[in-house]
Amino acid sequence: MKRIFKIFIDFDGTITTKDVGEAIFEKFGEPGSVKKIIDDLLSDRISAKESWLQLCDSVKQVSPDALNNFIDTLEIDPTFHRFYDFCEQNNFEYYILSDGFDYYIERILSNDGIEHIKYYANHLIITEDNKLVPSFPYQDEELQSSANCKRNHIINHSADDEFTIYIGDGNSDKETAQFCDFIFAKDDLLKFCERERISYFPYKDFNDVRLRIEKLMTKQNLKKRHQADLKRQEVYKQG
């Protein structure tokens, strides 16, 4: 029986070389306010949704040209292109799950000539008076660490007999990654996995991820992660 892998990838700081959302608000928001909001989020004093609302409020005005020009300076990890080709060649289903915004995801991927990647993210518009207005089409009040409920996307796009892979680095990945069989972690997600004794593969870039997945594809008696199965079953029971 052919193994089916479903791959879920964070965007900010994972596909990109830096956290794009954070960089935008550090550039255009009120410096003192932005630092406090991010600290409050990382300390679980406010939810991810509330942090985005406050961060957008901290930007008094920004023109589309100014925002677009700044976004155009931000880069994708150069090893992602080969990983993207690898997924295509192996007919893997793969998705970007971002707690950032569609506005910059679309632009950054397009700038790099990357097309046809399905993604789920929060929504952002610039109004006629140059205000940033976010909305959250995939919010789940149960989960506070991500305004875009990544967990639900994973469950909706994978079956119990499929192997799920999560690749991430940050705060919004902590809850989500626990629902996957194989976790690739760096930075804050890696520290979280170590603290919670969750099995993971450390990685520096997408070459590390690709080489490890190649081994998983040929490994005999590959097993799903028991704790991930239990977490999925809990969600099923809740309806």
Q: What is the topology classification, in CATH, of domain 5-20+73-238?
A: Rossmann fold (3.40.50)
pLDDT of the chain, 239 residues: tens digit per residue? 678 999 999 999 999 999 999 999 999 999 889 999 999 999 999 999 999 999 999 999 999 999 999 999 999 999 999 999 999 999 999 999 999 999 999 999 999 999 889 999 999 999 999 999 999 999 998 888 899 999 999 999 999 899 999 999 998 899 899 999 999 999 999 999 999 999 999 999 999 999 999 999 999 999 999 999 889 888 887 76
Q: What does the angle CA 133 – CA 138 – CA 141 come to, to the nearest 5 degrees?
A: 95
Domain boundaries, the chain: 5-20+73-238
pLDDT reported for residue 234: 86
Q: Work out the angle between the directed axes of helices 102-111 and 64-71 (0-180°, nearest 10).
A: 50
pLDDT reported for residue 208: 98
- Euclidean distance between CA atoms 2 and 5, whole angstroms: 10
- Euclidean distance between CA atoms 61 and 42, whole angstroms: 26
pLDDT reported for residue 166: 98
pLDDT reported for residue 160: 87
The amino acid present at 37, given as its one-letter code, is I
